[in-house]
Homo-oligomer: A and B are copies of this chain.
Amino acid sequence: MILVLKPDASEHLKNELINDIEEMGLGVHVSVGEGTTIIGLIGDTSKINSYSFSSYEIVSNVLRVTEPFKRANRMFEPDDTIVDVCGRKIGQGYFVVIAGPCSVESEEQIVEIAKQVKKAGATFLRGGAYKPRTSPYSFQGLGLEGLNYLKIAKQETGLPIVSEIMSTDVLDRFMEDVDIIQVGARNMQNFVLLRELGRTRKPILLKRGLSATIEEWLMSAEYILSEGNDNVILCERGIRTFETFTRNTLDLSAVLAVKKLSHLPIIVDPSHGTGKAWMVGSMAKAALTLGADGVIIEVHNNPKYALSDGEQSITPDKYAQILPVLKKYAELENKQLEV
Contact = CB atoms under 8 A, between A and B. Distances in A.
Interface of A: 2, 4, 20, 27, 29, 31, 33-34, 36, 38, 40, 42-43, 46-47, 49, 51-56, 60-61, 63, 65, 68, 70, 132-140, 166-169, 186-187, 189-193, 195, 209-211, 213-216, 219, 222-223, 226-227, 239-246, 249-253, 256-257, 260, 273-274, 276-279, 282-283, 285-286, 289-291, 303-313, 328-329, 332
A33 B63 CA distance: 14
Contact of A304 (B55, B133, B285, B310): B55
B191 A132 contact: yes
Contact of A213 (B132, B244, B290): B244
Identical copies in the complex? 4
A190 to B, nearest CB: 6
A306 B55 contact: yes
Contacts of A51: 308-312
A272 to B, nearest CB: 11
Contact of A286 (B242, B252, B313): B252
A136 B226 contact: yes
A329 B288 CA distance: 13
A38 B46 CA distance: 20
Contacts of A260: 278
Contacts of A304: 20, 52-53, 55-56
A308 B49 contact: yes
A46 B46 CA distance: 33
A227 B3 CA distance: 35
Contacts of A305: 20, 52
Contacts of A54: 310-311
Given A2-B4, A51-B308, A241-B242, A135 B31 contact: no
30 contacts: A2-B4, A27-B34, A33-B42, A34-B42, A34-B43, A46-B137, A49-B309, A51-B308, A51-B309, A52-B306, A55-B304, A55-B306, A60-B65, A63-B63, A70-B137, A136-B195, A136-B219, A136-B227, A167-B193, A169-B192, A186-B189, A187-B190, A213-B242, A213-B244, A239-B249, A241-B242, A246-B253, A253-B283, A282-B289, A286-B286
